[in-house]
A and B are shown apart, each in its own frame.
Chain A
Amino acid sequence: DTAVSQTPKYLVTQMGNDKSIKCEQNLGHDTMYWYKQDSKKFLKIMFSYNNKELIINETVPNRFSPKSPDKAHLNLHINSLELGDSAVYFCASSQKTSGTDTQYFGPGTRLTVL
């Protein structure tokens, strides 16, 4: 069973479109995250949610809106896609928000904006 799953794995779309990426974890964790990995493989946190509540919101354009319908799901909706949004997006989860917890990552969604 996959611990953290994301759909879709690949997403190719035109500039200006709106798209969503879904994430689900079956680990029973309280906290979920979204990270962006750029073409140089640099990883940066975007958001985190604990029990459906937003707790980390980095300086991300407000075209990006996370939504957590329950603590096992954290979806990422992106409006008005731009070329610079092309990246690999990783979802992750951890037991709590303690700084010592291991984060478990999904396989990633490669977004290409044309």
Chain B
Amino acid sequence: GNSVTQMEGPVTLSEEAFLTINCTYTATGYPSLFWYVQYPGEGLQLLLKATKADDKGSNKGFEATYRKETTSFHLEKGSVQVSDSAVYFCALDNQGGKLIFGQGTELSVKP
């Protein structure tokens, strides 16, 4: 079946540190891959996405590359800010709108 595995949190970083959140997936076919972010007390919002192999999604300094050979979609940011503190969800979709989410990774950025 389809599944997404993310690195466990919480992840605690100092401001301006480099961020990597690992995400790997198992899926039949060619899924689209997404990163969603959930700020405290809010709903999810799309951070970035990639719809085919080798595509790179990017937004707000975050980026992730769709790697079919390693079935991965790791999230990176060169310099995190306190305002990036949130829960990050990796997700895939290869069934027409049925998003399959990873377990979420909580990020806490300290000043």
Contact = CB atoms under 8 A, between A and B. Distances in A.
Interface of A: 4, 31, 33, 35, 40-45, 48, 50, 55-56, 90, 92, 94, 96-108
Contacts of B96: 55, 97-99
B111 interface: no
A35 B91 CA distance: 13
A4 B93 CA distance: 21
B44 A45 contact: no
B43 A102 contact: no
A103 B97 contact: yes
Contact of A108 (B43, B46, B100, B101): B43
A42 B6 CA distance: 12
A43 B92 CA distance: 12
B101 A56 contact: no
B104 A42 contact: yes
Contacts of A35: 99
B87 interface: yes
Given A40-B103, A41-B104, A99 B43 contact: no
B5 interface: no
B89 interface: yes
Interface string B67-111: 000000000000000000001010001111111110110100000
B98 A45 contact: yes
Contacts of B45: 104-105
A105 B31 contact: no
A32 B94 CA distance: 17
Contacts of B32: 99-100
Nearest to B105: A41
Interface in B2-42: 31-32, 34, 36, 38, 42
